[in-house]
Amino acid sequence: MVYTPHRMKFGIFMAPFHRVGENPTVAFERNMQLLEHLDRLDFDEAWIGEHHSGARELIGEPMLFIAAAAQRTRRIRLGTGVTSLPYHHPFLVADRLVQLDHMTRGRAMFGAGPGVLSSDAFMLGIDPTTQRQRMSEAMDAIMALLRREGPVTMQTDWFTLREARLQLASYTYPHLPVAVATSFTPAGPMLAGRHGVGLLSVAGADDERFNRTWSWVEEGAAQTGREVSREGWRVVLTFHLAETKEQAIDDLRHSYPLRAYAGDGLRPSGQQPLIGPFSNDIEEAVKSGGVLAGTPDEMIDKIKEVQQRSGGIGGILGLAHEWADTAATLKSYELLARYVMPHFQGQIEALFEARDWFENNRNEIFGRSGAATVKAFTDAGKEIPPEIQQQMEAMRKRREALAAAQAEAQGTRGDGA
């Protein structure tokens, strides 16, 4: 049986990605404006990344960005997506998170990861093979501090805690929401299960290993007896929406993804572009399923497919990118909010029911409105004006036409046609 949340969460995973060669200050401002746009569209959340190299993912401290964004937004929740735990002392991470929880009045979230860019670890002198172990150790410390499980004493080969405790209690009870990032390995899901926290599947849902993700979460939870819920599982999808599939692809054709990442000739001569798993050709990427460029209806089908294959998830996050121009990008999120999100948040069925009741009973309900109008003039001893008589006659003809159409439709269904 597939788990279906009453109200699926929708948001973005903002690395962010920017074109090399543009003004970074203006890029930060576009990021802020996107969050303001999503806030107005009633998106639930945004997760902001931490990166220190590569020149494309420019935010080095997501908590700073979140603190500023909280002042410019109203209700959207803002999470670190992620804080790279091997790069920080866990006590300072926990302390800053609690402060952020207060400063955002409970809108902050904590996403944890090992650090995705090996170049970051290289500059910090960290062996990449130790990053997941460091993350696990840091999570043990941070969760103990956030849950106020008493003074925390820990000794590892890279940090020490001596009777550590946070001087502030969390604003959110018992603490702000927590999630662990994962690609397709068991490490992240098992760590999330072990601590009973949420999961961020940041590499999409197209790899076969994705189908085993929740079993790894449950395996981790069994080790500690923690409870886990699919409500806290978000999946990142790469998409761009437009009113037609042709328009969506055309929006991306001139910047996806080499120009967006390589800087249109600003790259040193002979150096190959770093574009990760994405194809150089947007049509090829769409055909392979790596990118969804299409209509809201296609997005609805994609989410249903992810729900079915996963056994049920709690949220969808769009990978924030700038492969289309700013106006088309904002329009894509608007289409998601208007036509996709309501299908997974319990908003569509009631509207359809209300519309169908109104349409199916319009003849009976409004049939008496003409009589009421006549009575109002008669009771007042006045003649009915000609324009009112014309309106009443037009309404009568529409009622008769509607009744005839309904009778014909019922007769057709009765014939089994």
Q: Tell which of 315, 346, 377 closes a domain.
A: 346
* Same domain (yes/no): 36, 171: yes
pTM: 0.88
The last residue of a domain, from among 307, 322, 346: 346
Asked if residue 273 has pLDDT above 50, the reply is no
Task: Give residue 152's identity as a one-letter amino acid code.
Answer: V
Are 320 and 395 within one domain? Answer: no
pLDDT value at 354 more than 50:
yes
- Across 157-166, average pLDDT: 98
CATH classification of the domain holding 228: 3.20.20.30
Same-domain status, 336 and 370: no
Per residue in 183-220, pLDDT (tens digit) is 989 999 999 999 999 999 999 998 888 999 999 999 99
Give the integer Cα–Cα distance in Å for 400 and 18.
61
**303 and 390 fall within a common domain:** no
Classify residue 177: in a domain, yes or no. Answer: yes
Range of the domain at 405: 361-414
Answer yes or no: do 241 and 376 share one domain: no
Question: Residue 356 falls within a domain, yes or no?
Answer: no
CB 298 within 8 A of CB 248: no
Q: Are residues 106 and 168 in the same domain?
A: yes
> Are 141 and 165 part of one and the same domain?
yes
Peptide bond just before 174 cis, omega within 30 deg: yes
Q: Which long-range contacts (CB under 8 A, 24 or more apart) does 256-259 make?
A: 256/282, 256/285, 256/291, 256/323, 257/321, 257/323, 259/19
> Of 311, 346, 381, which residue is a domain's last?
346
Co-location of 295 and 378 in the same domain: no
Residue 242 lies in a domain: yes
Same domain, 299 and 210: yes
The total number of structural domains in the chain stands at 2
Proportion of the chain above pLDDT 70, given as a percent: 92
Distance CA 289, CA 228 (A): 30
The answer to whether residue 1 sits within a structural domain is no
* 66, 96 Cβ separation under 8 angstroms: no
CB 196 within 8 A of CB 227: yes
pLDDT digits (tens, 9 = 90+) for 222-240: 999 999 999 999 999 999 9
Q: What is the pLDDT of residues 110-121, one digit of tens each?
A: 999 999 999 999
Identify whether 4 is part of a domain: no
Verify that 33 and 182 share a domain, yes or no.
yes
Confidence label for 276 from pLDDT (cuts 50, 70 and 90): very low
- According to DSSP, the β-strands at 178-182 and 160-164 are unpaired
DSSP-assigned letters across all residues of 59-105: -S-HHHHHHHHHHH-SS-EEEEEEEEGGGS-HHHHHHHHHHHHHHTT
Other CB atoms within a 10 A radius of the CB of residue 332 amount to 21
The answer as to whether 351 is a domain residue is no
Inside any domain, residue 42: yes
Q: Are 289 and 381 part of one and the same domain?
A: no
Helices marked H in 254-385: 258-262, 282-288, 296-310, 326-335, 348-360, 362-367, 369-379
- Residue 417: the pLDDT is 44
For the stretch 123-147, pLDDT in tens is 999 999 999 999 999 999 999 999 9
Q: List beta partners, residue 155.
A: 160
Rounded CA separation 310/148 (Å): 34
Residues 398 and 259 in one domain: no
Q: Is residue 246 part of a domain?
A: yes
Residue predicted with more confidence, 154 or 386 = 154
Tokens describing residue 283 = 């049509």
What are the pLDDT digits (tens) for 40-55?
999 999 999 999 999 9
